[in-house]
Structure 1
Amino acid sequence: METESKIETALYLIPVTLGETEITRVLPSYNRDVIVNVKHFIVENIRSARRFLKKVEKSIDIDELTFYELNRHTDRKFIAEYLEPLKNNKPVGIISEAGCPAIADPGADVVAIAQSRGYKVVPLVGPSSIIMSVMGSGLNGQSFAFNGYLPVEDGQKIKTLKKLENKVWNEDQTQLFIETPYRNAKMFETIVSALRPQTKLCVAAGITCPQEYIKTMTIAKWKQEKLPDFAKIPAIFLIGK
């Protein structure tokens, strides 16, 4: 039988670690207090969400919880139904695969519905690779843009890179983008060959994890540098001036 929650009824955006990082290093204890009082979770992957919840609090009875899966395969017409518990004064949590929900993440669709229906939305504190990479890059943190994945085809990718580089120089806006880990080396090679020597590139990989790597140099200097093997490590690329 579901017990009455000890927290306010709301949609809670629950960050997770960016890798195999100790929970206490990146998540405040308040997040645990919220998690143990939530029985309904909207998640990208049920298996990894269960594992994360057990890592936060071993005493959680997973079988008492209800999970709603939200990923690229989910029919968007069902998303609103995931918020039904809020009608009955039961809090709902969103958990993404890494970092903060709704930031470069399908959870934004749920938040938009919650906002349109007047439900309270509570973002919790946690690691965001996007924000932390800007913090550690030394590039302009007053104006920056996250562009997600760039085109896969080389010609279009180079064209997009040059367009982003123009924004860097014309608007002084730092540009961020990502790539599938096994293509990180190819992305790095394309960036270094396509951009101006004086443009700065920051490669931020494995943030908050033991293999964390954040390094910023001009393209000219990167051409003399060998990038570590990031074929299995999520990385963010930032260009600026």
Structure 2
Amino acid sequence: MNTWRSAAMVFLFVPLVWGAPGLAGAAGVEKKSAFPRPLGYVSDYAELIGSDWQSRIRAVCKELEDRTGVEMIVVTIATAGPYSHAREYAEGLYKEWHIGAAQQERGMLLLASLKERQAVVVLGRSLLSAVGKTKLDELSGQYLIPMFQNARYGESLYRATVGLAAASGSAVQAASEPKRASSAGFWMNVAVALAMLFALWRFTRPERRHPFQRWRRGGYWSTGQGGFKGNFGGFGGSTRGQGLS
């Protein structure tokens, strides 16, 4: 069963296809030839991206992975052959390179095939809800489809990368906020429990049978009210010394 869904289809068969890797044509992919070795965040095998745009794309991908754990790879190829469609090539490449495997399937592959004039986005399962069809339609119409007409591959792929990073990054961060809040609530409960135990210990220890025993010995108040004022003034002076005034 083919579970790939087309997010845009126009003349010259320039689609933006997306789906979860491993769900389409796996048996057919395994019979095909081996894939090239990865070259980092950007693997420009078709030599379509200038060095400046490559640097920009790498910077976006690195920042995305550092902040959210999402691994995004951008690839260009001269042809998808012997595959019949670039989506088959992209799916096989995604699995071969284990993109996003270390980040709980937070992987993303943007591939452009020059001969077939096709652009493909492959998403890990954890990102399917983050980068939806609407966003892919938008990126396809604005950047990926026009780049096969105007040949501005570097700029178009860079801007598509920024759009994908923004969509996936914001969704991942939003999903992590409830976990952080839950963790903060847990430690707050622990702090309250410890405070209650401390208060219970203070008021049940033997010394508390005569709560004013220390005061009678003059440990705190033997200097009287004047001494209290002097101590308070010293605290205020210390505070100003620390730059808090």
| TM-score normalised according to structure 2 size | 0.27
More strand by share: 1
Q: Larger RCO: Structure 1 or Structure 2 (Cα < 8 Å, ≥ 6 residues apart)?
A: 1
| TM-score normalised according to structure 1 size | 0.27
More helix by share: 2
